[in-house]
Structure 1
Amino acid sequence: MSRFILFAFSFFAVLSCKQENAQADTTLPNVIMLVGDDQGYPYFGFMGADYVHTPNMDTLAASGMLFTDGYVSDNHCRPSLQTLLNGMLPIDYYRAAGVQRDSLINALSIQEDSIAGFTREFDLRAKHMANFATLPTLLKQKGYVSFQGGKWWEYTFENGGFTHGMTKGWLESDQKTKNWFLEHMGGDGMDLARVTNQPAYDFLEETKGQPFFMWFAPSLPHYPFDAPQQYYDLYKDEDMTESAKQYYANCTWFDDAWGQLVAHLKEKGLYENTLIVYVNDNGWEQDPDQEFWDDPMRSHNGGDKGKGSIYDMSFRSPIIFSYPGKIASNTSTTALIHSADLPATILDYAGVEVPSNFYGKSYRSILEGKEETLRSSVYGNVITTRSDDPKNVMGDHVNGYWIRQGQWFLR
């Protein structure tokens, strides 16, 4: 009898622990990393640009804490996006990735005349990313499933540790086609928002009941400026240049795609337990009176102080944290924050230890009103800058640095 009682006690104790753990798991926040593509920091209603229609982003900013003086890690998309996944500054990530690649070359005894080709393929297929601790792989420790949608340079969604995704890689033959650059930027992932949000909805349905991390990074308002007529019509009669109308229409297109996802989250009862983090990949310059429509360089990269430059507008981004009931709404701060702080903060809310190689800090104490600032300055290194050659859209190679301290931006 005593053995039975002992067995029963042990059984129910284990069952109780499992139930408690399951209960604890339900308190984990769902997480959405919302990323704008070539979105200039001034061009939102909530940043004072009442001539740009961004009602859904305005609502998001009002629902949580807005950092008006956020900064990203690079003046181009890929290095900046990598920081959001691995928490590292680009210079640190590429140095570590290079060491990893060179070690593999030595281990495989790659012949000298084959090293260049091996290096190109290794980098193109982003094999280094698969060997770093990324947000999806770290969150998986807590039972998170994850989804990649939108821009994704890292070959396949699996390279970033995602369990689900839209970007499934490319074929060798794709490198010889006119769509090669599009394939390299994300392939099918580039359809997110521009064509449909359905893959994101399908992911939520397939994995319901599990905590999720979603990478929602549409290639908007990025070129091409081909917004549906309904968005362009909001600007067609306004006193602004044609390039401004086209760019702002793409901004509104992004805004509407986000609004559709929010509506879906609310319909499925997911919104209230979702931590939403917004940031841009890099900046953009397009004021209402600037005309770039017939300019081969600026029509793709915006004004000279935006994307690809070493000016404040190239790195600055509003950053938003929204988490109903956990982060106070209608709060705004000028406290400096770096995009590398976003993955660290997300891990903190998920109860995952932040790796020692992360540059970023958790901003949870600021979000919960316990501190006012964590950084007196933010800084970065860049390896490309704007070129005077209209054929060189990607820019010239440089070795530059920038720092924002107080109200000063130095370069």
Structure 2
Amino acid sequence: MNFMKINVRLYWPTMLVFLLVSISSCTQKDNTTESQPNIIIFFTDDQGYADLGTYGAEGFETPNLDQLAAEGIRFTNFYVPATVCTPSRAGLLTGRYPKRSNLHEAVLFPFSEGGLSPDEYTMAEMLKEGGYTTSCIGKWHLGHKEAFMPNNQGFDEFYGVPYSNDMDNYYYKDIDFQSPPLPFYRNTELIESGPDQQYLTKKYTEEAVKQIKNRGQKPFFIYLAHNMPHTPLFASPAFKGKSKHGLYGDVIMELDWSAGEIIKTLKEEGIYENTIFIFTSDNGPAKGSAKPLRGKKAQTWEGGQRVPAIITWPSKIPKGKVSDEFVNTLDLFPTLAKISSSKIPSELQLDGIDISEFLLDPDAKTLAERPFYFYARNGELEAIRLGEWKLHLKKSIGWNEKSEGEFQAALYNLNLDIGEKDNVATHHPEIVTKLSELATAFDAKL
């Protein structure tokens, strides 16, 4: 008996140390998991700069997204690297200018044979290797052949359509090609052909909510790419006639509802505080508003590529900030890599920068001035921005030679002239030369 008591006394300190180490290890593991935030990118299609309440929308309300802006950072100088769908999505998911992926010209069609090369390293692959589950919900538009589809690009789950909703059963008379009814997939299985588009926003939202509720132990990345408000416009019966702006306003209000349902689910599940929610659009509007910007979708004027954007992370990003710092979707790849502690291959050449420190402390941090290049729908470099200056070198869309004459190099000070109305190229020839040389050199490298 005494022998046993002596052994207990001898071994108790050792046992105590073992227990403390075990508890510490468990705690450390839990903290590591908690330090990796869930990530949602809420990507709309053709939503203009002024198509959100907090950006001055007229005729409809967006209370959920306005509240989201109040809980994080709203950007006034946020850009996408293309004027249309396919190249913009390629840039977002690779962190690289679309020309690097050879997807910088026009968009992919149901008759296209190509897509985003499986050799490209996507955001989904990066986050998956960093310990995330990955899901693509909605519109893909980076190649409908199996090799280019989401499940071969780093996404564990895919629920949606392979290209734009206007390509549903469309006849391309110039090449005598009849596209099929819009395919709707769950992963690689075709589950519906020609879905009733008035329910697309609702279906995507319900799928996102379901995935959040049925998540596993890993942090998740959901890329929710809505089809709306790309034309043709569709809203569910619950939203038809809801706005004073007709069907377009109804569509935007349903998208706002979608964001609200997802945010509500995050809160109910107790994970809202540790979820990064990124809202933005793939390019400027076709039907909506880009006021006070000049131009629209498919144009390299500001209205074609400056878009609304909100980023929140309640536990980390301060509330109620409005930033005029220059940011673009190419920055999301390196930023999310840093925040999620995911690794980027050393040989991968990215065009975006890590803005994580700025997001965490926007009042104390500023971003370095850097050039941004505007590639037109025809694939050609048309403009460059550096700081307050934007130089247009040529113009393929958004300029009428018959009424306006041959396009000449045009320089605008965006700090003073956000609407690009006052061409000051003749007053600043040295800036025109500098930006022209920068643009030519960069394009030659690509």
How high is the TM-score relative to the length of structure 2? 0.68
1:145 aligns with 2:145: no
Structure 1 counterpart of 2:337, one-letter code: L
Distance 1:74 1:281, change over 3 A: same
The structural deviation recorded for 1:81 is 1.0
**Is residue 2:277 matched to residue 1:269?**
no
1:84 paired to 2:77 = no
Correspondence list, 1:120-131, <5 A: 121=113, 123-124=114-115, 126=116, 128=117, 130-131=118-119
Aligned position for 1:99: none
Deviation at 1:251, TM superposition (A): 1.2
Q: How far does residue 234 in structure 1 lie from its aligned partner after superposition?
A: 3.3
Q: 2:25, 2:130 → 1: CA distance? A: 16
Match of 1:27 among 35, 43, 46: 35
For residues 236 and 200 of structure 2, what CA distance do their matches in structure 1 show?
15
Cα pair 1:284 1:307 within 8 Å, conserved: yes
Shift of 1:408: 4.0
Tell whether the 8 Å contact from 2:228 to 2:234 is kept in structure 1 after alignment.
no
- Report the secondary structure of 2:203's partner residue: coil
How far off is 1:222 after superposition? 1.4
Measure how far apart 1:205 and its partner are.
3.3
Residues 398 and 217 of structure 1, relative CA distance in 2, 3 Å threshold: closer
Deviation string, structure 1 residues 269-307 (Cα, Å, up to 9, x no partner) = 22121011112100015468x9xxxxxxxxxxxx99211
Q: State the partner residue of 1:254.
A: 255
Distance 2:280 2:162 in 1: 25
Residue 245 (str. 1) matches residue 246 (str. 2): yes
Mapping of residues 3-402 of structure 1, within 5 Å? 16-17=24-25, 20-94=28-102, 121=113, 123-124=114-115, 126=116, 128=117, 130-154=118-142, 155=144, 156-167=149-160, 178-179=179-180, 192-235=200-243, 238=244, 245-284=246-285, 286=287, 305-355=295-345, 356-369=348-361, 371-384=364-377, 397=378, 399-402=380-383
SS of the aligned residue for 1:49 comes to: coil
C-alpha distance after superposition, 1:234-258 (max 9, x if no partner): 33xx4xxxxx522222111211111
SS in 2 for 1:340: helix
Any stretches of 5+ residues in structure 1 without a counterpart?
97-118, 239-243, 291-302, 385-396
SS of equivalent to 1:53:
coil
Q: Which residue of 2 aligns with 1:104?
A: none
Kept in 2: contact 1:231–1:252 (CA 8 A) = yes
- Distance apart, 1:192 and its partner CA: 4.8
3-state SS, counterpart of residue 320 of structure 1: strand
Query: Which structure dedicates a bigger proportion of its chain to helix?
Result: 1
CA distance in 2, matches of 1:207, 1:272: 16
User: What is the percent sequence identity of the aligned residues?
Assistant: 25
Deviation at 1:49, TM superposition (A): 2.2
Higher Cα Rg: structure 1 or 2?
2
Q: What root-mean-square deviation, in Å, do the aligned CA atoms of Structure 1 and Structure 2 show?
A: 3.6
Structure 2, unpaired ranges of 5+: 1-6, 105-110, 164-168, 171-176, 393-446
Do 1:71 and 1:315's aligned partners in 2 also have CA atoms closer than 8 Å? yes
Does the C-alpha gap of structure 1 residues 158 and 383 become closer, same or farther in structure 2, counting only changes over 3 Å?
A: same
Q: Is the 8 A contact 1:285 1:305 kept in 2?
A: no
The amino acid that maps onto 1:346 is L
SS, match of residue 271 in structure 1: coil
**Gap change, CA 1:353 and 1:270, over 3 Å in 2:** same
Alignment deviations for residues 88-122 of structure 1 (CA, whole Å, 9 cap, x no partner): 111122289xxxxxxxxxxxxxxxxxxxxxx964x
TM-score by length of 1: 0.74
Q: Distance in 2 between matches of 1:257 and 1:337?
A: 25
Aligned partner letter, 1:359:
D
Q: Distance in 2 between matches of 1:11 and 1:256?
A: 49
